[in-house]
Amino acid sequence: MPATGIPAPTATAVDSNTDADRLGATAAFVRDQDTSVLLSRVLPGLDGPDLRALTDRCAFAHAAVLVFPTDEHSLRAQLAACGLSPEVSAQPSVVVRDRLAARHHRNPADLDVRILRPTVRGPGGEHRAVEVFALTVPPGSALRGIAEEERRLDREAHLAFDVAHPDPLVLRGLLAGFARHGATADGGGYNPHEDGTVFYFTAPVGTKTPYRRVELYARGDHRDVLAEHLAEPFTAASAPRHPGDPQAAESLLRLLTGAWTTQALTACARLRLPEAMSRHTGAGVHELARAVDAHPESLATLLRYLAMLDVVTEGPDGYRLTGVGALLAAETPGSMRPLALMYGGPFYQSFAHLTHTVRSGLPAFDHFFGENHFDHFAADPELAALFDQSMVSSAPIFDALPAHPVLAAAAASPGRPRTVVDIAGGTGELLGRILTDHPALRGVLLERPQVLAAARDHLAGTGVGERCAYHAGDFADVPDGGDVYVLSRVLHDWDDDRCRSILASCSAAMPRHADLLVVERLLPADGGSSLATAWDLHMMCNTGGRERTADHYARLFEECGLVLVGHSPLALGAHTLHARRA
């Protein structure tokens, strides 16, 4: 009988182990196991007919490890160093992404978790794999804390058994067998990218392997059995239903009322309800109604809806803001109030004409307001200021950007101070962050004349104004001679022809040594769910622009004399694309 134990990295060992060490230990473990022996070690007391029944219906398939490479190249190098194929393809991981998001209170769209399954052989030549979950964490990334905690606790490390012929009866029998021997349900999910259902267990206290999580994997969609495993109702939200199913109708009704949610949040912001709740902690409806000049019964209805959305909570002592609701207060750091006013205001009005856009290919905003949104905002200083503030509301996108290797290298270059040129950089939120983090750099902000006054005030207030120059102009006026050029959330405003014009201006202005950093949301190449998918609809409706895949941007760069070097994730579903002159 083969030996059973090159141990997997445990929580106590992970701190001193690199990702490469953990990959190597996991690969060795997978190569060494016998299914029957391993099952008896995972579930102490499992023997005789029960052991034979489980062994007949499932086979040890893989052990999993979660790693945090700095980029794709380093991950492939680590695989090769462990004797694993670096050429294996990667797929999105829905289950682990959602587990990490819930554990660390993150938006799932911000966590680009991939699965790679390099193959190995078992002691009898069995076809097995090391299941590698990879979350890219570039140097300085805001995700670094997640990586440190997950390496230390190793919560995604698990053993997996593939279920042969996974019909519902077999699956229910296997789940019952694991439960009888002390394993407890610990989540699971259906991955549409590979059409497979996973059932997770926590191993019993007496388990004799270092792994504390066990997975049963069944090909196909088994969300009905999964719902029983999770002790959750099987609803229309979790599986396809026939059109007459009442749960399907309820699910569609919830989708159709999304507009009500937008307006409820906007009303909350317009009424300054979060500010009133901060001043009157635990206030009741009548006190809040007096504070915001509202009709008490109508405000009570709005508050009940906001409580359902987890924007406020109601207790014996009145209403209080949640962390979500606090973001609608104007003075909260990172306030998203301007976004609520924009999405519930002009953009809400234009979205009522989305059908016009889909039929004509022309922006609904132009159709409704009679002009494009840039001209419309420019003619209304108050609205223009709100739009600029709404762009600042998404500033968490920028948290990791100043640590990008291109900026770090520019700041460390000897000789003359290096210059960062921020093209259409708004009021200078991003440029200010870059210059604050890198005192050796200088900045140039290219913007419309009416925006530069606010930009001067903002950058002076952050203490970097003396290192900035200000250029009034448009995309035809890109200053030459810079070292790093930045285009943040610009290209998605435009169609491909206009993007080529903008990129050509950048390419013409860039010296041979210069770098271009483009910040955009990237559409997933596999068509999976993402914030970029939602913003793609928004840009189409309101600006005539679009979100794009990395490959699409690479083609645009190439057509303008640039080459895509690589891209790395940022918060809120964004990425930094790094390009240079070809």
Report pLDDT for 153.
87
Please indicate, yes or no, whether residues 562 and 428 belong to a single structural domain of this protein.
yes
**Structural domain that includes position 36:** 14-221
CATH code (residue 492): 3.40.50.150
Residues 6+ apart with CB under 8 A from 246: none
Please indicate, yes or no, whether residues 177 and 320 belong to a single structural domain of this protein.
no
In this structure, is residue 501 part of a structural domain?
yes
Mean per-residue pLDDT for 4-33? Answer: 65
Write the secondary structure of 234-283 as one string of H (helix), E (strand) and C (coil): CCCCCCCCCCCCHHHHHHHHHHHCHHHHHHHHHHHHHCCHHHHHHHCCCC
Please indicate, yes or no, whether residues 313 and 449 belong to a single structural domain of this protein.
no
Of 100, 129, 94, the C-alpha closest to 114 is 94
Cα–Cα distance, 510 to 138 (Å, whole number): 25
Report pLDDT for 71.
87
Cα–Cα distance, 61 to 217 (Å, whole number): 9
Q: Rounded to whole angstroms, what are the CA distances from 81 to 21, 76, 86, 121, 224?
A: 10, 9, 9, 17, 41
In this structure, is residue 398 part of a structural domain?
yes
Please indicate, yes or no, whether residues 299 and 434 belong to a single structural domain of this protein.
no
Residue pair 315/236 in contact by the 8 Å Cβ criterion: no
Please indicate, yes or no, whether residues 526 and 409 belong to a single structural domain of this protein.
yes
**Exposed (0-12), middle (13-18) or buried (19+): which is 169, by Cβ within 10 Å?**
exposed
Residue 229 annotated as catalytic: no
In this structure, is residue 382 part of a structural domain?
no
Q: Rounded to whole angstroms, what are the CA distances from 219 to 151, 318, 362?
A: 29, 49, 43
Q: Quick count: other Cβ atoms within 10 Å of Cβ 541?
A: 22
Q: Rounded to whole angstroms, what are the CA distances from 189 to 93, 128, 199, 426?
A: 10, 21, 7, 42
pLDDT in tens, 251-276: 677 788 889 999 999 999 999 999 99
Please indicate, yes or no, whether residues 77 and 128 belong to a single structural domain of this protein.
yes
Mean per-residue pLDDT for 151-158? Answer: 89
Residue 10 DSSP symbol:
P
CATH code (residue 269): 1.10.10.10
Please indicate, yes or no, whether residues 43 and 139 belong to a single structural domain of this protein.
yes
Please indicate, yes or no, whether residues 286 and 413 belong to a single structural domain of this protein.
no
In this structure, is residue 379 part of a structural domain?
no
In this structure, is residue 340 part of a structural domain?
no
Please indicate, yes or no, whether residues 425 and 552 belong to a single structural domain of this protein.
yes
Cα–Cα distance, 284 to 304 (Å, whole number): 12
pLDDT in tens, 8-21: 333 333 333 588 88
Mean per-residue pLDDT for 529-540? Answer: 86
Entry field: residues in the chain: 582
Cα–Cα distance, 206 to 198 (Å, whole number): 23
Residue pair 126/58 in contact by the 8 Å Cβ criterion: no
Please indicate, yes or no, whether residues 264 and 182 belong to a single structural domain of this protein.
no
Cα–Cα distance, 25 to 32 (Å, whole number): 11
Cα–Cα distance, 178 to 183 (Å, whole number): 5
Residue pair 433/441 in contact by the 8 Å Cβ criterion: no
E strand map for 514-560: 515-521
pLDDT in tens, 47-90: 877 788 888 889 999 999 999 999 888 898 899 988 899 888 88
Please indicate, yes or no, whether residues 327 and 456 belong to a single structural domain of this protein.
no
Please indicate, yes or no, whether residues 35 and 174 belong to a single structural domain of this protein.
yes
In this structure, is residue 243 part of a structural domain?
no
With H, G, I as helix, E, B as strand and everything else as coil, classify residue 205. Answer: coil
Backbone angles phi, psi at 191, to 5 degrees: -105, 105
Task: Using pLDDT thresholds of 50, 70 and 90, give the confidence band for residue 478.
Answer: very high
Catalytic residue, candidates 62, 492, 538, 575: 492
Q: Rounded to whole angstroms, what are the CA distances from 520 to 87, 95, 284, 486?
A: 28, 25, 43, 11
Q: Rounded to whole angstroms, what are the CA distances from 233 to 185, 254, 472?
A: 15, 17, 59
In this structure, is residue 75 part of a structural domain?
yes
As for how many domains the chain has, the answer is 3
Rg of the chain taking only CA atoms, in angstroms: 27
Report pLDDT for 243.
54
Mean per-residue pLDDT for 306-328? Answer: 85
Cα–Cα distance, 216 to 178 (Å, whole number): 10
CATH code (residue 209): 3.10.180.10
Of 135, 232, 132, the C-alpha closest to 187 is 232
In this structure, is residue 147 part of a structural domain?
yes
- Which residue(s) pair with 106 in the sheet? none
Among 285, 317, 332, identify where a domain stops: 332
pLDDT in tens, 362-417: 999 999 999 988 889 888 888 888 888 888 777 778 888 998 999 999 999 988 89
